[in-house]
Amino acid sequence: MRRLEVGIVGTGYVGLVTGACLAHLGHSVVCVDIDREKVESLSRGEVPIYEPGLEEVVGGALRQERISFTTDLPATVERVDVLFIAVSTPPGEDGAADLSNVASVAREIGASLARRGEKSPLVVVNKSTVPVGSGDYVSMLIEEGAEGRDVSYYVVSNPEFLREGSAVYDTLFPDRIVIGTDSREASEAMRELYAPIIEQSFPTSYDPRPKAAVPFIVTDLASAEMIKYAANAFLATKISFINEVAAICDLVGADVTNVAHGIGLDSRIGSRFLSAGIGWGGSCFPKDVSALRSIAREYDYESTILDAVVAVNDRQLKQVVSKLQRELHTLKGKRVALLGLTFKPNTDDMREAPSLKIARTLDSLGARVVGYDPVATGPASEAVPQMKVVTDPYAALSGAHAAVVVTEWDEVRNLDPKQVAGLMAAPKLVVDGRNVLDPASVEERGLLYRGFGRG
């Protein structure tokens, strides 16, 4: 493989994982961030996010001198062959993605491009999730930054599909790589960059390798941008769909886990993302679904399906409260333990975590809320100061009238029902918001079990 000089702007989730993995493949990577302190701590190998395997990959790349961190974007633009924009695009008040970070980076790239001299055109890669049409917008901003000077570059879209908690794995073993560009030279540069992943030829301790080869898809810019939104919206739809089925299962006395198993074996449906429960949260689904709805609205198109997907997801949270109210009658003065606070296991991310909304609602109804999480204790108590956050699940359960499994951490799945029953106060209600407990063995110990769609 040819070793490329790669720049990554933004050392958040996507930027840092992408940079570390590209360095692991053998490229020479420089990561740029405006946060000087973060740059210094990353240079020492201190990874600010909880992501399995990431610290090892960053550490390995630092030792091999394949990765470095800087605040100097202009010098990076002058040096690299490929430059990723991986800054955040948070939702604005109207749900549309806020592109101000992308815009200021693009302008600065434009301003520095003229100094690249005779080097081949810079391949600028949009890795941030941006509205359809943003590729052209980035080109416009680069030109604006260049102020009439002659600059040569390509803008490419390369959407990101990694999941938090398995971000390194997903980057090295993706289901596909999608590139949006109308330039052959740019798509060839991207193919070269990803060659070790496409051919699965990089060193790995996975034996056997999970993938033989990875499809590399080249399409136009707008379609690549749309693929990202459509993929996330489809997955959110799949979850809301099974949650709708779960609600009907509850009415007719069926068990949604059996139903999901039965439909998932149909290869046209597939068994993944059919776990019913509290619903979807996190940094991507809520943001991307609302951005896609807002893109459609700009064209006077109201997405009936996505509106329903969001409505079902909102309803799931209300169901947690109504399940508690049904068994506890009033929530006033009742102690409720929330087990698992991050939006999903194996991450410390609290963005759009269902636990926060549940905690706030329960508090407003007069309940005493105690939260347990194996990693995110600090951010959780900051976000909801009324909630007492503890680091021992049994301490959270002690004296609790009800417990809600909000996030299916192993530490929560593996709680000992006998010990839990001994600690809780009547009616010892367990609302299994992720359908991960075995109802029979929980009830055997004298706990009252309520799942989602389990009849």
Q: Which residues are annotated as a binding site for NAD(+)?
A: 33, 38, 89, 129, 164, 287, 351
Give the three-class secondary structure for 67: strand
Helix 134-146 to helix 100-113 angle (10° resolution) is 40
Stretch of 23-31, 114-122, 280-288, 396-404 lying at the interface with ligand UDX (CB under 6 A): 280-288
Short-list 389, 385, 364, 352, CA closest to 374: 389
Structure tokens at 37: 């302190």
Residue 243 CB, shortest distance to ligand UDX, in Å, is: 8
Distance of CA 191 to the CA centre of its chain: 25
Binding-site entries: 33, 38, 89, 129, 161-164, 228, 273-277, 281, 287, 344, 351
Residues 76-115 as x/- pattern, contact with ligand UDX by CB under 6 A: ----------------------------------------
Q: How far apart are CA 113 and CA 100, in angstroms?
A: 20
Radius of gyration of the chain (CA): 24
Q: Which of 281, 379, 393, 451 binds ligand UDX (CB under 6 A)?
A: 281
Q: How far apart are CA 167 and CA 170, in angstroms?
A: 5
Per the annotation, the verdict on 284 as an active-site residue is yes
Question: Cα–Cα distances in Å, from 318 out to 251, 361, 375?
Answer: 17, 9, 26
**Does the protein bind ligand UDX through residue 187 (CB under 6 A)?**
no
Structure tokens at 333: 């003065």
Q: Please, which residues have CB within 8 angstroms of residue 65's CB and are 6 or more apart in sequence? A: none
Q: Which of 274, 312, 341, 356 binds ligand UDX (CB under 6 A)?
A: 274
Question: Cα–Cα distances in Å, from 242 out to 98, 274, 344?
Answer: 31, 6, 18
Interactions with ligand UDX, residue window 201-260 (CB under 6 A): 232, 235, 239
From 21, 31, 249, 284, the catalytic residue:
284
CB neighbours (10 Å) of residue 219?
Answer: 17
Cβ proximity to ligand UDX: between 187 and 342 the closer is 342
Cβ proximity to ligand UDX: between 28 and 129 the closer is 129
**Does the protein bind ligand UDX through residue 442 (CB under 6 A)?**
no
- Count of chain residues binding ligand UDX (CB under 6 A): 21
CB neighbours (10 Å) of residue 339?
Answer: 30
Cβ proximity to ligand UDX: between 343 and 409 the closer is 343
Q: How far apart are CA 316 and CA 306, in angstroms?
A: 16
Q: How far apart are CA 227 and CA 180, in angstroms?
A: 10
Residue 2 CB, shortest distance to ligand UDX, in Å, is: 28
**Does the protein bind ligand UDX through residue 273 (CB under 6 A)?**
yes
Instruction: Work out the end-to-end distance of the chain between its first and last CA atoms, rounded to an integer number of angstroms.
Output: 56
Q: Which residues pair with 435 in a beta bridge?
A: none
Stretch of 162-170, 244-252, 321-329, 334-342 lying at the interface with ligand UDX (CB under 6 A): 162-170
Interactions with ligand UDX, residue window 327-366 (CB under 6 A): 343-344
Binding-site entries for substrate: 161-164, 228, 273-277, 281, 344
Cβ proximity to ligand UDX: between 221 and 284 the closer is 284
Q: How far apart are CA 220 and CA 17, in angstroms?
A: 25
Residue 144 CB, shortest distance to ligand UDX, in Å, is: 30
Residue 236 CB, shortest distance to ligand UDX, in Å, is: 7
Which active-site residues does the annotation give?
284
What is the binding site for ligand UDX (CB under 6 A)?
A: 160-164, 232, 235, 239, 273-275, 277, 279-285, 343-344
